């Protein structure tokens, strides 16, 4: 079911009235329609199947350039994502790092980004988001192992409660061979090196 924009507009007007505001004053008059547009974007993944993005695969042994394909893990780092925490409907955002050990089939890297975007575009908690990404890749690709690391900051931590602006949350989801900590050590090191470089670039 698509996002009901008209209903969001009506409810936004009610919310503004409930906090003591006048939804018809100039600064707020367009807010209901803006909220409807925003929510349609933020929650576009509610009815979307992330597996659809993994349907087109490339054969390792019969592909156009099999000698150039990696025999080890495929690691895609620093995928920017944003989502909405289902507890307070506040945003959380960060980076996703995805790795998988391909079998006979690999997938275009852009498809992995689409999986993250689809699953992030719905009310979420970070812990579940990482597990859902790992499950989608493990169940719909020919893989021997999957690793998903998410590093994000949460509005419910930075904007309310303890108000810790620099606190971030890291979650790890592993499937197959990567459930062995020794097997994923190299990838975690590579991801850590990426994070260190990003921090230096921002400093």
Catalytic residues: 85-88, 126, 154, 156
Cα 140 from Cα 118, distance rounded (Å): 15
86-119 b/e (C-beta count within 10 Å ≥ 16 → b):
eeeeebbebbbbbbbbbeebbbeeebbbbbbbbb
Which whole-number Å values give the CA distances from 96 to 7, 26, 47, 115, in the listed order?
A: 33, 40, 22, 11
The DSSP call for residue 52 is: G
Residue of 69, 95, 75 lying closest to 187 (CA atoms) = 75
What token pair was written down for 53? 């993005």
Residue of 133, 73, 143, 74 lying closest to 105 (CA atoms) = 143
Sort 183 into a burial class: Cβ within 10 Å, 0-12 / 13-18 / 19+.
Answer: middle
Q: Using N-to-C axis directions, what is the helix angle for 109-120 and 126-140, rounded to 10°?
A: 140
Q: What are phi and psi of 180, to 5 degrees?
A: -80, 115
């Amino acid at each position: 079911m698509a996002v009901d924009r008209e209903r969001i507009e009506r409810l936004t007007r009610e919310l503004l009235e409930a906090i003591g505001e006048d939804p018809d004053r100039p600064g707020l008059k367009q807010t209901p329609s803006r909220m409807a547009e925003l929510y349609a974007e933020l929650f576009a993944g509610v009815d979307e199947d992330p597996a659809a993005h993994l349907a087109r695969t490339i054969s390792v042994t019969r592909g156009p350039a099999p000698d150039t394909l990696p025999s080890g893990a495929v690691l895609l780092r620093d995928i920017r994502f944003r989502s909405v925490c289902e507890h307070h409907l506040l945003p959380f955002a960060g980076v996703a790092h995805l790795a998988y050990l391909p079998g006979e089939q690999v997938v275009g890297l852009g498809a992995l980004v689409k999986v993250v975007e689809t699953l992030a575009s719905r009310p979420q908690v970070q812990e579940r988001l990482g597990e859902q990404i790992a499950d989608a890749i493990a169940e719909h690709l020919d893989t021997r192992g999957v690793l998903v690391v998410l590093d994000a900051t949460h509005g419910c931590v930075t904007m309310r409660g303890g108000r810790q602006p620099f606190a971030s949350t890291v979650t790890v989801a592993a499937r197959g061979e990567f459930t062995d900590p020794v097997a994923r050590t190299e990838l975690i090191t590579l991801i850590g090196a990426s994070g260190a470089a990003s921090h230096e670039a921002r400093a």
